[in-house]
Structure 1
Amino acid sequence: MQQENDYSAPAERPSSLSGANRSRRKIKVNPDILHAQIGLDDDQKSLSSMSNKSDGDVFSPADDLATPDIETPDELGDSVLGRDDSTLSDSIPEMSAREEYAEERSWKTCNVGGVERKIDMRVIEPYKKVLSHGGYFGEDRQAIIVFSACHLPDRCRRDYDYVMDNLFLYVLSTLDELVVDSYVLIYLHGATERSKMPSFGWLKRCYQMIDRRLRKNLKGLYLVHPTFWLKTIVIMTRPFISSKFSRKLRFVYSLEELSWVVPLDHVCIPDKVKQLEFENMIKEKKRKLGSKKVLPGARHVTDDVS
């Protein structure tokens, strides 16, 4: 009776501890058998595919090129195919037709010194105001080109050199399109922060890359609101610029003085430069009032009071 109760009792579920003492009815399969079977299937598939091809197809150059990739699987991890799909989709998102069109328009091709170069228009978009056209003047219709240094990028940018190089190519290509014959260049240096002033090396490289036609057709370069820094740069450039080009340089200390030489009716002058011109005018009037001399025989007001 006791034996029947033991026999009818449900068997306990084996645990990790109790199962160690019991024998398991588990059939072990050698992994080599599976690999051999898979290899056999692959061989049969390859033989059947080879039987349908001619000798020329089997020993085609494409198979020779594909063989090293199979023998070197470690290189797959560094390739595009070996990367995670989520990472790849984040780094290279799919673009629509409109985005592709905008991407193509963000690059402009120009020719500098016989070498074709590409301009990153997207990175220089905030600084395109640096160059403007001020119309024409004179009987020979000289073009007026204005360069506003206050719109230059700040040197604190990490990609400052990249931006400046693309900006210079943009200026050159624009000059080549605007200037057909003779022209004058107005460089508005006033109201330019010290961190935005271009370096001497950049100016030297720009001069060396300017096309001979642009240098020859330049009739005058007017440096407006010059500072001590700008005058020093001009002195430093004397050794590598021609004497003809040096004679075209002229310092202009006010917009009023500039208007005597070049009409400013259609010249776009930044508000910062206009504000600087107004402040300089107030300082000049105060200086003249302070240094005004008393005429001989005239007496001060204090003398009358005393």
Structure 2
Amino acid sequence: MDLPSESKMNSEGGEGRPVPPTSLPLQGGATQRKKLSAPRISLSLDQSEDDLGETPDDLDINVDDLDTPDEGDYLDYTDHEMDWEDPTAASRSGTSEPYNAIPTYSAEEERQDGKLWRTVIIGEQEHRINMKIIEPYMRVISHGGYYGNGVNAIIVFAACFLPDSDREDYHEIMENLFLYVISTLELMVAEDYMIVYLNGATPHRRMPGLGWLKKCYQMIDRRLRKNLKSFIILHPSWFIRTVLAITKPFISAKFSSKIKYVHNLDELQELIPMDSIQIPECIIRLDKELKEAAENSKVNSFLQGSDPTAASRTEADQAGASGS
């Protein structure tokens, strides 16, 4: 076997390791170490043959050889498989939180929701009416048909359908009801018209206040005031007479001349057609009671020799006041 030369032994050291250099050569030499650059690592799955050739084999990343987490590293979802088509699947799971599904907003519900508010134009100003809050009181105004020739409307206002003033939301109701009455009046009236105010069978707590009546009068369009031909009050009481007397300074003399008092339904029928007017049952009962009271007054007055007409008028006023 050939023995290594002395020069080779000196270069590798006693233990076969390279001997560190004792000086730095200024110009090349056989002992100069070669500087290697770090290979470029490419994580692209679409490598070309050239890229593979430039990268050492031991640095190539094979996706198929990558370690994947064991199933035990994850939570056990085998019993909690989600059905993405079924939003209630989570709520059926025993350990998952309940799922509150968003209710579907159907076209019918959207249409009903749109009915809760109505936008109206009164006096060239836009207003919104809460139709939900006034729904129980919308019968306060109705169309009573027509009188005479043409489209002369009869507007019926039933005070017995007004809300009680002791309600906490009374002012809110009356504000929206006021807008509803005025806007409805403008829709119903085309030419001349009359208003029939059903005052009887209305408790005092339901009578509209002076401010509300004054506001109604002021907000009525000038055309509506001009076209109003008659304001008939059925079953007038001392209270309504007093209210009209107090509000007289705020209304015109022409409007005051249009007010007429009617004491029973028979008198009203002589003035206007009643076929299309819906009279509330409480008004019919009151009218019957007033007729009976008037007949009794006439009999008593005849026996006592007093004026039966004046006595019947007094009985009517007392009955109207008791209803108020």
Match of 1:144 in 2: 154
**Deviations 1:34-54 (CA, angstroms, capped at 9, x unpaired):** xxxxxxxxxxxxxxxxxxxxx
CA distance in 1 between counterparts of 2:296 and 2:248 reads: 36
Match of 1:281 in 2: 291
Where does structure 1 differ by over 4 angstroms across 4 or more consecutive aligned residues? none
Match of 1:131 in 2: 141
The residue identity in structure 2 corresponding to 1:145 is I
Q: Offset at 1:137?
A: 1.4
Q: What TM-score do you get using the length of structure 1 for normalisation? A: 0.64
The residue identity in structure 1 corresponding to 2:242 is T
- Name the SS for the 2:271 alignment partner: coil
In structure 2, relative to structure 1, the CA distance for the partners of 1:152 and 1:294 (3 Å cut) is closer
Q: Offset at 1:94?
A: 6.4
Match of 1:96 in 2: 105
Match of 2:132 in 1: 122
Match of 1:68 in 2: none
Contact 2:155 2:196 in 1 (8 A): yes
The residue identity in structure 2 corresponding to 1:218 is L
Match of 1:213 in 2: 223
- Name the SS for the 1:250 alignment partner: strand
- Higher mean C-alpha deviation, range 278-287 or range 101-110: 101-110
Structure 1 or 2: larger helix share?
1
Q: Offset at 1:293?
A: 4.2
Contact 2:262 2:268 in 1 (8 A): yes
Match of 1:161 in 2: 171
Match of 1:225 in 2: 235
Task: Provide the aligned length of Structure 1 versus Structure 2.
Answer: 204
- Name the SS for the 1:145 alignment partner: strand
Task: Identify unmatched segments of 5+ residues in structure 2.
Answer: 1-99, 306-324
1:186 aligns with 2:196: yes
Match of 2:277 in 1: 267
Q: Offset at 1:160?
A: 0.6
**Deviations 1:129-166 (CA, angstroms, capped at 9, x unpaired):** 11111111112441111000000011111111111111
Match of 1:202 among 209, 212, 216: 212
**Deviations 1:185-237 (CA, angstroms, capped at 9, x unpaired):** 00000000111111111111111111111111110000111111100011011
CA distance in 1 between counterparts of 2:180 and 2:296 reads: 42
Q: What TM-score do you get using the length of structure 2 for normalisation? A: 0.60
| 1:68-107 → structure 2 map (5 Å cutoff) | 96-97=105-106, 98-107=108-117
CA distance in 2 between counterparts of 1:262 and 1:101 reads: 39
- Name the SS for the 1:263 alignment partner: coil
- How large is the RMSD of aligned CA atoms in angstroms? 1.8
CA distance in 1 between counterparts of 2:178 and 2:277 reads: 21
In structure 2, relative to structure 1, the CA distance for the partners of 1:219 and 1:100 (3 Å cut) is same
In structure 2, relative to structure 1, the CA distance for the partners of 1:96 and 1:185 (3 Å cut) is same
Contact 2:196 2:234 in 1 (8 A): yes
Contact 2:151 2:190 in 1 (8 A): no
CA distance in 2 between counterparts of 1:199 and 1:185 reads: 19
- Higher mean C-alpha deviation, range 132-141 or range 155-164: 132-141
The residue identity in structure 2 corresponding to 1:274 is I
CA distance in 1 between counterparts of 2:271 and 2:111 reads: 45
- Name the SS for the 2:155 alignment partner: strand
Match of 2:33 in 1: none
- Higher mean C-alpha deviation, range 192-201 or range 286-295: 286-295
